Amino acid sequence: MGAIEVAELTKEYGSVLGVDSISFSVDEGEVFGFLGPNGAGKTTTIRTLLGLFAPTSGGATVLGADVRDERALVDAKRRIGYLPANLGFHEEVTGEQVLEYHASIKGDRRLDDLLDVFTPPIERPIREYSTGNEQMLGIVQAFMHDPDLVIMDEPTSGLDPLKQERFNEFVRCESDRGTTIFFSSHVLSEVRRVCDRVGILRDGELVGLEDVETLLDQGGKRVRVQTIDEASEALATLDGVVDVDAFADGLQFVYTGDYNALLEALASYDVREIEISEPPLEDVFMHYYGPDGSATDDPEGESSV
């Protein structure tokens, strides 16, 4: 059984659909990214996994505990860390007091180590904290009892790029220690570096469930060629060439076809310079979300769950 199992989970808020019959599982030790635009249903899923919302239908287990079974969930939560989207710390208490409170409930097996990595000013009251400091305190409290599973809602929001990088490294190390990590994100580039797999949510539906490498493969390669006009025109019509941008001495496009065909086409022209790179994940995700956020469904026909 996976660390998280979600089966046809639906959550309705009156007439508003939060998530619609989503199913996926997260393996033990896996780093799983849960992606989607605003209002896609990420927080709804996370809060349901923690028993904070009851599913309307379908269900889920975390570390084997049914999220509808309060007693089983309380036991499982001793081995789960949670970073909510809104931390809600009291303004008047110090970071140290926040951590003491959490330690009294769930223990503090590795607090000192964590405070070496993340460095919130724990002697100061929360009202003096920057957003990033508050987020670091939240991350420390989520990991301080050395949980087997950590669920985080937008963990890098508010962190500066250096802290984000530190967080990414930390997550990879945690995964190497066997901790399962599930987190939601808008920061697509961090997913590439950190996650083993991603679920892509849109309008409450899971529209993609992929390992990151597959996701990038499906996105093709970005090719930038400097060559004569005639070649540019011919290349633009080659099978597998999409998103073409012409510029003065060549063109840039995304190539999703057979590499031999591209090389053959290029070989007959005078190529002055060529650059082949991974397209930005944002472009890859456009295949799922669509340019206006109202995505196309599974364009490759092979990514649905």
Site residues, ligand ATP (CB under 6 A): 13, 16, 18, 36, 38-44
CB of 279 to ligand ATP, least distance (A): 23
CB of 57 to ligand ATP, least distance (A): 16
Residue closer to ligand ATP by CB (options 134, 146) is 134
Task: State the residue for tokens 């003491």.
Answer: 100
CB of 103 to ligand ATP, least distance (A): 29
Torsion from C-alpha of 249, 254, 260, 265, nearest 10 degrees:
-30
CB of 262 to ligand ATP, least distance (A): 38
Residue closer to ligand ATP by CB (options 182, 253) is 182
Residue closer to ligand ATP by CB (options 34, 253) is 34
Q: Give how far Cα 272 sits from Cα of 247, 268, 275, Å.
A: 14, 12, 11
Tell me the β-bridge partners of 47: none
Task: State the residue for tokens 């919130």.
Answer: 120
Residue closer to ligand ATP by CB (options 39, 58) is 39
CB of 260 to ligand ATP, least distance (A): 41
Residue closer to ligand ATP by CB (options 22, 115) is 22
CB of 45 to ligand ATP, least distance (A): 7
Residue closer to ligand ATP by CB (options 16, 276) is 16
